[in-house]
Amino acid sequence: MPGGLAEIPRQGENRRRGSPEYRRTMAAAELRVVNDSEMERVEHWRAEELIRAGYDPTDAIALAARHDIDLHRAIELISLGCPYELAIEILI
């Protein structure tokens, strides 16, 4: 009987089996892997942008991993003619 007493969850049940709460969700470990790989993609992109701006690849990778360093500021320093070593000092 749709909409009747059969639709009311029993004590301790929140939803029917077909509701989103009963669908398979990711385990915490799976979420961690997804987050890690997403973080790796972001850091890779940041490093590429820093290399494109003129940073040495080794420095670019180290700077890219530092999320407290503003990527746009790092690129701007080099594009405005800031000496390389001084830009590194300012950023770290």
pLDDT tens column, 35-57? 678 889 999 999 999 999 999 99
Helices 57-65 & 84-91 angle (0-180, nearest 10): 20
**Cα 4 to chain center, whole Å?**
45
Distance CA 45, CA 37 (A): 12
Q: Using alpha carbons only, what angle is made at residue 51 by residues 47 and 52, rounded to the nearest 5 degrees?
A: 115
Over 60: is that where the pLDDT of 22 sits?
no
- For 53, residues 6+ apart whose C-beta sits below 8 A from its C-beta are 74, 75, 78, 79
Over 60: is that where the pLDDT of 19 sits?
no
